[in-house]
Amino acid sequence: MKKIFVYTNIVTYIYIRMNSSDSRYRECLYFSANVLARKIEKLAGATWKRVDLSPSHAYLLMIVLEEPGVQPGTLSDELQLTPSTITRLIEKLEEKNFVVRTVTGKITNLYPTPKAKKLLPELRKCVHQFQEEYTKILGREESTRLVNNIHKLANKLP
């Protein structure tokens, strides 16, 4: 546990910052997975801040850049997100003028704009920087093992 002392004019408060492994819910998969997800989201968000995109927007945009004409269903499968979430992400990228949606009958295709194409090198740098950051914290072997185990376990769950 990490104790943080805060001094005020009247009273001294002690805030105790607990490690997740000290929590009463440490054996709960839901709690543990969400603690990890929040910490990873914070680290990733800081990385992609320089391109003014969330990690989810950035990964979706990179797929559109690498596969012009990609369909939302493919994005949903690839990113493991619901179709409604994909739609919201696409709408935001359209607002920022990064993607264009074309509709022919029931088929929707997504294409990158020139503005998005200019951003691709910076997006790739963000991916690399994010991987470097968490690898520096966790170590290369642990990072690789963690990612592989997460995929293995996620594939077992419905």
pLDDT at 10 > cutoff 70: no
Q: What is the pLDDT of residues 38-49, one digit of tens each?
A: 999 999 999 999
* Architecture, CATH, for domain 25-156: Orthogonal Bundle (1.10)
Backbone angles phi, psi at 15, to 5 degrees: -100, 130
Enumerate the domain spans of the chain: 25-156
**Cα–Cα distance measured from residue 92 to residue 98, given in angstroms and rounded to the nearest whole number:** 9
pLDDT at 26 > cutoff 90: no
Confidence band, pLDDT 50/70/90 cuts, at residue 5: low
pLDDT at 67 > cutoff 70: yes
Confidence band, pLDDT 50/70/90 cuts, at residue 24: confident
pTM, two decimal places:
0.82
Q: What is the pLDDT of residue 102?
A: 96
**Cα–Cα distance measured from residue 126 to residue 50, given in angstroms and rounded to the nearest whole number:** 8
Q: What is the pLDDT of residue 25?
A: 76
Lowest mean pLDDT among 10-24, 46-60, 91-105, 113-127: 10-24
Give DSSP secondary structure letters for 27-92.
Answer: T-HHHHHHHHHHHHHHHHHHHHGGGT--HHHHHHHHHHHHSTTB-HHHHHHHHT--HHHHHHHHHH
Q: Which helix (H) or strand (E) holds 148?
A: helix 140-156
Q: What is the pLDDT of residue 103?
A: 94
